[in-house]
Amino acid sequence: MIQSRIIALSLVACFALSGCNDKIEEANKTSQKPATEAQAPLQQLQLNQPANQPEQGHEGHQHEKAQASGGLTIADLYAKKSELSGKVISIHGNVVKVSEAIMGKNWIHIQDGSGTKETSDIVFTSDTQSAKVGDHITAKGKVAIDKDFGYGYFYSVIVEEATFSN
């Protein structure tokens, strides 16, 4: 996605320098298409979740298990994000997306069956460890709130400096 933005900015600069400002709109439309297409696999993944994994926004077995053991759920994390900011937390869940080596970090998306559509997924970042989609893991890291990485990547809550175990 970053590459498509760089290409789009390069095209805008070329058009502006060559006096073809009317082509900028066309370049912007072209640069947005790959971003939309890149989101399609994630949407497909969410629609085709395995039968043993609860759907987004619905409480399931994993949510009940986390609560029964006194663990923190993703819904709890979003609800208590201000008081948890800067603290190390641990969450059990299923890995639903992995993006490796982006800005020098691995970005691991986890769901545990708690929360609503907007709060059912939490991102953990790690400089050293990663995981695979489908793994059921315990992720531990430091809570950060209201992080803006630019290019539309804003996280009201994210967990950084993460470690993962089975």
Please give the full DSSP string across the chain, using - where no structure is assigned: -HHHHHHHHHHHHHHHHHT-GGGHHHHHHHHHHHHHHHHHHHHHHHHT--TTSPPTTS--HHHHHHHHTTPPPHHHHHHTHHHHTTSEEEEEEEEEEEEEEETTEEEEEEE-S-S-GGGS-EEEEESS----TT-EEEEEEEEEEEEE-STT-EEEEEEEEEEEE-
pLDDT in tens, 114-136: 999 999 999 999 999 999 999 99
CATH of 54-165, one of 1.10.260.40, 2.40.50.140, 3.40.50.300, 3.40.710.10: 2.40.50.140
More confident: 59 or 99: 99
Does residue 39 carry a pLDDT above 80?
Answer: no
Q: How confident is the model at residue 7 (pLDDT cuts 50, 70, 90)?
A: low
Mean pLDDT of all residues in 136-142: 97
Helix 2-18 to helix 24-47 angle, to the nearest 10 degrees?
Answer: 170
The pLDDT, as a whole number, for residue 74 is 97
User: For the residues 56-65, what does the mean pLDDT come to?
Assistant: 43
pLDDT number for residue 14: 43
- For residue 158, pLDDT over 70 is answered with yes
CB 20, CB 40: distance < 8 Å: no
Indicate the domain borders of the chain.
2-46, 54-165
Instruction: Name the pLDDT band for 71 (thresholds 50, 70, 90).
Output: confident
pLDDT at 62 over 90: no
Name, of 2-6, 31-35, 105-109, the range with top average pLDDT: 105-109
Confidence of residue 160 (pLDDT cuts 50, 70, 90): very high
